[in-house]
Amino acid sequence: MAFSAKRLTEALRRKNMSARAAARELKRTRPDMAISNGYISQLANGKSTNPSIEVAEALAELLDVSVDWLLDRKPPAQLSPEDQQLEDQIRKDAAELGIEYIAERWQGISPMSRQAVVKMFQAMLEAEARGRDADRPAGANPDSQE
């Protein structure tokens, strides 16, 4: 998680709120969370850079900003139609191979890597098909259920 000290400082300033005031308000509105003004100051100064998602969510809610903005997340780049087609092929092939959870990790790879993944999955599917054919008794109907 890439927490943005700069954005936290900006959001505090917009709300005209100090770290102490933010901690006090969080204690009132989120008594289940123990977020000290010292910790908020460390986050704002960049001395602490890895708050839990719960802390980031609480701060974002308090400061009326989105968690994505506070975490300085960049929106994903828009894929070209060709790259989107490759992305869709990766998901389809991964599902067919039973490894669809891996396809979720491919976002953000280069077009060249995306093409390589598609080729790798196609080779895996072809190998799987050859393996099934090799396991089938000679003369057996490939469309019959055994």
**Locate tokens 């308090």: which residue?**
62
As to burial, measured by CB atoms within 10 angstroms (0-12 exposed, 13-18 middle, 19+ buried), residue 141 is exposed
Distance CA 53, CA 60 (A): 10
Most confidently predicted of 13-22, 71-80, 96-105, 106-115: 13-22
Residues spanned by the domain of 99:
81-135
Model confidence at 8, in pLDDT bands (50, 70, 90)?
A: very high
Give domain status of residue 48, yes or no.
yes
Say if residue 57 is in the same domain as residue 97.
Answer: no
- Predicted structure pTM score: 0.51
End-of-domain residue from the set 46, 70, 94: 70
| Contact status, residue 129 vs residue 135, Cβ threshold 8 Å | no
Say if residue 85 is in the same domain as residue 57.
Answer: no
Token reading at 132: 């099934």
End-of-domain residue from the set 40, 70, 100: 70
Say if residue 39 is in the same domain as residue 20.
Answer: yes
Token reading at 54: 């719960």
Please check the confidence at residue 144 and state whether its pLDDT lies above 80.
no
**Locate tokens 């100064």: which residue?**
45
Mean pLDDT of 119-132: 85
Give domain status of residue 107, yes or no.
yes
Distance CA 116, CA 26 (A): 49
Please check the confidence at residue 142 and state whether its pLDDT lies above 60.
no
Q: Per-residue pLDDT tens for 68-102?
A: 888 887 665 677 888 788 878 887 887 787 776 56
Percent of the chain with pLDDT over 70: 81
Q: Please count the structural domains in the chain.
A: 2
